[in-house]
Amino acid sequence: MIRTILLVTAISAAALPALAQSQDPIPQILANFDKIDANGDGVISRAEFRTLQAARWPQIDRNGDGYLSEDDFPRWAARRVRTQLAEIAYLDENSDGRISQSEFVNEPAPAFRRVDQNADGILTRSELEAAASG
């Protein structure tokens, strides 16, 4: 029984890397802060965050059709995928039921909006630390 649970957990983790990454990217962003902060000014701007989003796109668009939709994930994960996609539905500017690469990259990600508490368009290390701890 425990072996089966571990196997299902391992398969789930392997099959849904995009969802796992999209659930809470804050620790990864914090761990890579200096790399993401390309100009070294001590903050992550929206432009630097867009660069990060563009780099993540190939991992998220698993079927390579240029859109993020339910088709990028296994059918057995449909309920979880729908929940995740519903959280970022505001990115779907043209309301076609899927998110294009440009919609994903150019709109502020939920993580950016959540962390940028003072809405100044930049993420500081302290904002990321606060978001990661609570």
88-133: pLDDT as tens digits: 888 888 888 889 999 888 876 777 888 999 999 999 999 999 998 8
Asked, for residue 7, whether it belongs to a domain, the answer is no
Report pLDDT for 8: 34
Asked, for residue 12, whether it belongs to a domain, the answer is no
Domain housing 48 = 17-133
b/e map 32-53, b = 16+ CB within 10 Å: ebeebbeeeeebbbbebbbebb
CA distance 63 to 67: 9
Mean pLDDT of 69-89: 86
Structural domain count of the chain? 1
> Partners of 67 in the beta sheet?
100
Q: What is the mean pLDDT of the chain?
A: 80
